[in-house]
């Protein structure tokens, strides 16, 4: 259903997985599956999100997102003031910076303060606020570009900016063209907030209709994949109560397989099923949420193609503006990885309420790895190196956090 026909990278992945998985472990997993089936305890699933059934801090924090209605009013108010020339551009940027900073600090401070919030619920809430931060940043940036274009035209200057073009889904698109400042409405910003994209445009491509069969199929996939993820996560957490070095190495190798499978299931669940479900529901025409990252022969190609919404945001609002300011291309790439490393650590350390920088260092390690693979490996060897970094690299960071979390919360019982 993705439209891609080249899956050579998947073949390399299969070969590597066959070397990683011990044949006895495969038969053991298969026998457990045949004997017990899919183990999903509803009480255990709920316990991942709630400690107390009468206290829902993560849900309240997420529902509190309705407070960004005030943020939207705040944003629209100052954008209209910009048009009237009542306040300066510098003052407006300071106010926007304060608004965006509160979007990140408020949920983080609440998660650290409230002890009844579970890590899973905290991760989901914090991820939603992070997405809101990126969207509001793009919204402000794009409208600023539109203001500059209007001012340039008024002064008869030859300066222009064109928003990234995206292909609509299913042929012809249903689209009403809007021009600045006609886009500064609640309907427009709320559509953008819920749309499966991080980059704001005045005119998004729209699909002609909602396909009910496609919608139901994606919904079924979302439910089915989530039923596989929960018991796998729970079972992979249990063996870390005994933490001598030999067991650490053994559990690292055993964690590699379920961790990697969880990541693949999550990728399919989120980027293919969930985002297509939301896009179909909102008649959003741009369905390019990922490209053929499985064929990546370099680490850089993987990071540029496995998460297209974030990649487009980084290019549009971070990487290219730095190049326009004269920053070296290599330094700009490192800065992008630095920003990505910060958000990875932010989304892990805050919910777990411990600061170890494993996720940060793991992301920054991608920079020398990307240089090494592009310099010394190519073709299938480069693709194999990317798969090895995904299969083995992620479990190392996961193992570090799991170990520290168990030492902090269950040290007395182990």
Mean pLDDT, residues 146-173 taken together? 54
Q: Please check whether residue 376 is in contact with residue 204, taking contact to mean a CB–CB distance below 8 angstroms.
A: no
Does residue 198 sit in helix, strand or coil? Answer: coil
| pLDDT for residue 60 | 60
Q: Is 22 left (phi over 0), alpha (psi -120 to 50) or beta?
A: beta
pLDDT at position 8 over 90: no
pLDDT at 272 over 60: yes
Q: What per-residue confidence (pLDDT) applies to 246?
A: 65
Query: Which of 161-170, 329-338, 387-396 has the highest average model confidence (pLDDT)?
Result: 329-338
C-alpha 41 chain-centroid distance: 27
Look at 110-119, 133-142, 171-180, 400-409 and tell me which has the smallest mean pLDDT.
171-180
Per-residue DSSP letters for 9-65? HHHHHHHHHHHHS-HHHHHHHHHHHHHH-----HHHHHHHHBSBTTB-HHHHHHHGG
Q: What is the pLDDT of residue 134?
A: 92
Please write the tens of the pLDDT for every residue from 92-103. Answer: 778 788 888 888
Write the pLDDT tens digit of every residue in 31-42. Answer: 555 554 555 555
Pick the closest to residue 335 from 353, 349, 347, 317 (CA basis): 317
Better-scored residue on pLDDT, 18 or 125: 125
Catalytic residue among 96, 272, 344, 403: 344
Half-sphere exposure of 174 (CA within 13 A, CB side): 7
Q: Residue 181, preceding bond cis, omega within 30 degrees?
A: yes
Q: Which long-range contacts (CB under 8 A, 24 or more apart) does 67-72 make?
A: 68/103, 68/132, 68/136, 68/193, 71/99, 71/103, 71/136, 72/186, 72/189, 72/190, 72/193
CB-based burial label for 276 (10 Å; 0-12, 13-18, 19+): buried
Q: For 353-388, what is each residue's pLDDT tens digit?
A: 888 888 898 888 989 999 999 898 888 899 999 998
pLDDT band at 81 (very low <50, low <70, confident <90, very high): low
- Considering only CA atoms, which of 385, 381, 329, 338 is closest in space to residue 362? 338
Residue 339, CB half-sphere, CA atoms under 13 Å: how many?
15
Q: Count the alpha carbons within 13 Å of 336 in the hemisphere toward its beta carbon.
A: 26
Residue with more model confidence, 8 or 55 = 8
Which of 376, 362, 199, 378 has its CA nearest to residue 301?
378
Question: How far apart (Å, rounded) are the C-alpha atoms in residues 275 and 138?
Answer: 19
pLDDT of residue 172: 40
Which DSSP string corresponds to 335-393?
A: HHHHHHHHHHHHHHHHHHT----HHHHHHHTHHHHHHHHHHH--HHHHHHHHHHIIIII
Q: Which of 147-161, 222-236, 317-331, 396-410 has the weakest average pLDDT?
A: 222-236
Q: Does position 22 have pLDDT exceeding 70, yes or no?
A: no
283 DSSP assignment: T
Q: Where are the alpha helices (DSSP H) in 282-328?
A: 299-305, 308-314, 320-324
Per-residue pLDDT, 30: 54
Q: Specify whether the CB–CB gap between 411 and 324 falls below 8 A.
A: no
Give catalytic status of residue 344 as yes or no.
yes
Query: Which residues does residue 50 pair with via DSSP β-bridges, in sequence order?
Result: 117
Q: Please give the Cα distance from 136 to 98 (Å, whole number).
A: 12
The per-residue pLDDT for 23 is 47
> Distance between alpha carbon 134 and the CA centroid of its chain, in Å?
11
pLDDT value, residue 204: 87
Mean pLDDT of the residues in the chain: 75
Rounded to an integer, the average pLDDT of 245-266 is 73
Give residue 170's pLDDT band: very low, low, confident or very high (50, 70, 90): very low
Given a cut of 90, whether residue 244 has pLDDT beyond it is no
Q: Structural domain boundaries of the chain? A: 290-413
Average pLDDT value for residue range 162-182: 54
Lowest mean pLDDT among 9-23, 77-91, 131-145: 77-91
Contact (Cβ atoms closer than 8 angstroms) between residue 168 and residue 257: no
Taking Cα atoms as reference points, which of 309, 302, 334 lies closest to residue 164?
A: 309
What pLDDT does residue 33 have?
55
């Amino acid at each position: 259903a993705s439209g891609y026909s080249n899956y050579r990278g998947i073949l390399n992945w299969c070969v590597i997985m066959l070397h990683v998985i011990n044949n006895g472990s495969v038969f053991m997993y298969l026998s457990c599956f045949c004997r017990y089936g899919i183990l999903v305890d509803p009480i255990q699933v709920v316990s991942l999100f709630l400690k107390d059934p009468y206290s829902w801090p993560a849900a309240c924090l997420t529902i509190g997102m309705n407070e960004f209605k005030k943020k939207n009013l705040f944003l629209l108010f100052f954008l209209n003031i910009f048009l009237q020339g009542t306040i300066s551009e510098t003052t407006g940027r300071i106010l926007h910076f304060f608004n965006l900073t509160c979007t990140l600090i408020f949920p983080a401070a609440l998660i650290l303060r409230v002890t009844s919030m579970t890590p899973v619920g905290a991760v989901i809430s914090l991820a939603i606020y992070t997405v809101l931060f990126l969207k509001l940043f793009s919204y402000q940036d794009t409208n600023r570009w539109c203001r500059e274009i209007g001012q340039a035209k008024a002064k008869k200057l030859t300066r222009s900016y064109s928003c990234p073009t995206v292909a609509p889904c299913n042929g012809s698109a249903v689209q009403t063209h809007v021009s600045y400042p006609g886009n500064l409405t609640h309907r427009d910003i709320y559509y953008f907030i819920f749309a499966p994209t991080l980059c704001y445009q005045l005119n998004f491509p729209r699909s002609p209709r909602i396909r009910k069969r496609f919608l139901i199929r994606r919904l079924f996939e979302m439910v089915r994949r989530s039923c596989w993820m929960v018991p796998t996560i729970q079972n992979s957490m249990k063996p870390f109560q005994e933490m001598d070095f030999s067991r650490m190495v053994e559990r690292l190798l055993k964690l590699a397989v379920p961790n990697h499978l969880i990541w693949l299931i999550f990728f399919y669940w989120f980027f293919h099923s969930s985002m297509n479900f939301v896009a179909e529901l909102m008649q959003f025409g741009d369905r390019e949420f990922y490209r053929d990252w499985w064929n990546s022969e370099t680490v850089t190609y993987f990071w540029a193609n496995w998460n297209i919404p974030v990649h487009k945001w980084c290019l549009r609002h971070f990487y290219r503006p730095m190049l326009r300011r004269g920053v070296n291309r290599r330094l700009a790439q490192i800065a992008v990885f630095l920003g990505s490393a910060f958000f990875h650590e932010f989304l892990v350390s805050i919910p777990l309420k411990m600061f170890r920088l494993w996720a940060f260092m793991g992301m920054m390690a991608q920079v020398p790895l990307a240089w090494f693979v592009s310099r010394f490996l190519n073709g299938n060897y480069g693709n194999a190196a990317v798969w090895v970094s995904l299969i083995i690299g992620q479990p190392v960071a996961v193992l570090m956090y799991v170990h520290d979390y168990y030492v902090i919360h269950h040290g007395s019982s182990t």
